[in-house]
Amino acid sequence: METPQRPEPGPAPLTVPPPADRSLAGRTALVTGAASGIGQACAQALAAAGAHVYVVDKAADAAKELAERIGGTAWVVDLSVPEAVDSLPDDADLVVNNAGLQHVAPVHEFPPDRFALIHRVMVEAPFRILRRTLPGMYERGWGRVVNISSVHGLRASPYKSAYVSAKHALEGLSKVVALEAAPHGVTSNCVNPGYVRTPLVENQIAAQARTHGITEEEVVGKVMLERSAIKHLIEPEDVAGAVLWLCGPGTSHITGTSLSMDGGWTAN
Ligand code: NAD
């Protein structure tokens, strides 16, 4: 009797690459601050997954250019103006509250109008967008709210009173929405990055280098990422990956959470 031949060891069988994730086909996403940085990466990722994206930003040219590139619709609005926010479409299935800005000054020197502006854009606008889009999500029985918070939604740093308090408020709004929306198939979560390589941060790096009289490399390694175990800036696409995952299949029980992606900052 012949001994069965063992198959020759050879290259692993070729696997067919999975089809591009089109799990959001037929959905509509509204992304604020989508003309730059994290918002832009989110808009691109959601569009690649099949969603029609409303590209919301005050930067008209960049918003229009991106909308054209990803087959979305540009909405040029200043989110600090309540009436403008209330003119945005209310039929989104996914909302990514992302637009934000920073101002760095000690509390006793912080300009009150700047404080109010930061809260209008980063807290009131998300509230106004959600109060108009949630009813449609409830009607359709499905929705995803992702709030781009920050490590500063969970921790404080000096000189960022408006930003830190706005992000903490956004965390609270996100949790309230999670509780109210749960019976309707709608989840609400925060994503909490550490420092991400975007124009917002690149401007801060330059400003801090001037203020402290140190190099930009020293600002990143020794000042910004002092509390982070990983000493590299996060890329916007990594944040978009987390947002896409929260909007994709298998996430219906993830709600009211804050997903830290901070290189170990909050573990420290
Ligand atoms: P960015 O400056 O690259 O982009 C912000 C976008 O928001 C811009 O396109 C800007 O035009 C838009 N915007 C600002 N004010 C607006 C207004 N009044 N109306 C309409 N649009 C407005 O910033 P980014 O770094 O991509 O930040 C996006 C979000 O991520 C912010 O909420 C920020 O707090 C958060 N975040 C950023 C980092 C980081 O390190 N970059 C870390 C944690 C969280």
Residues in the chain: 268
Residue 95's SS3 state is strand
Do 95 and 201 lie in one domain? The reply is no
Q: Which helix (H) or strand (E) holds 41?
A: helix 37-48
21, part of any domain: no
116, part of any domain: yes
What are the tens digits of pLDDT across the range 141-159?
A: 999 999 999 999 999 999 9
Do 155 and 169 lie in one domain? The reply is yes
Index of the ligand 1 atom closest to the CA of residue 203? 2
Index of the ligand 1 atom closest to the CA of residue 149? 44
92, part of any domain: yes
Do 213 and 103 lie in one domain? The reply is no
The CATH number of residue 126's host domain is: 3.40.50.720
Say how many domains are in the chain. 2
- Give start and end residues of each alpha helix (H) in 185-235: 199-212, 216-218
6, part of any domain: no
What's the token pair of residue 231?
């000493």
264, part of any domain: no
Distance 34 CA to ligand 1 centre (A): 8
Do 52 and 141 lie in one domain? The reply is yes
pLDDT (0 to 100) of residue 100:
97
20, part of any domain: no
Distance 57 CA to ligand 1 centre (A): 10
Do 211 and 81 lie in one domain? The reply is no
What's the token pair of residue 180?
């109210």
For residue 171, the Cα-to-chain-centroid distance in whole angstroms is 13
Do 104 and 141 lie in one domain? The reply is yes
Do 225 and 242 lie in one domain? The reply is no
268, part of any domain: no
pLDDT (0 to 100) of residue 211:
86
The amino acid sitting at 9 is P
Q: Report d(CA 181, CA 237) in Å as an integer.
A: 28
Distance 159 CA to ligand 1 centre (A): 18
Do 158 and 253 lie in one domain? The reply is yes
Q: 244 CB contacts (<8 Å, ≥6 apart)?
A: 21, 42, 45, 46, 49
Could you list the residue range(s) of the whole structural domain that residue 162 is in? 28-194+235-258
Distance 98 CA to ligand 1 centre (A): 6
Q: Which of 138, 159, 163, 195 is catalytic?
A: 163
Q: Report d(CA 179, CA 194) in Å as an integer.
A: 26
> Which protein residues are within 6 Å of ligand 1, measured from CB?
33, 35-39, 57-59, 78-80, 98-101, 121, 148, 150, 193, 195-196, 198-201
pLDDT (0 to 100) of residue 200:
84
47, part of any domain: yes
Do 113 and 220 lie in one domain? The reply is no
Q: How many CB atoms lie within 10 A of CB 123?
A: 19
Do 153 and 252 lie in one domain? The reply is yes
What's the token pair of residue 240?
């978009």
**Residue 195 annotated in active site:** no
What's the token pair of residue 153?
């939604």
Do 211 and 250 lie in one domain? The reply is no
Residue 73's SS3 state is strand
Q: Report d(CA 121, CA 185) in Å as an integer.
A: 27
pLDDT (0 to 100) of residue 207:
86
Q: Report d(CA 181, CA 81) in Å as an integer.
A: 26
Do 229 and 114 lie in one domain? The reply is no
CA angle 248, 186, 98 (to 5 degrees): 70
Name the stretches of the chain with pLDDT < 50.
1, 17-19
pLDDT (0 to 100) of residue 44:
97
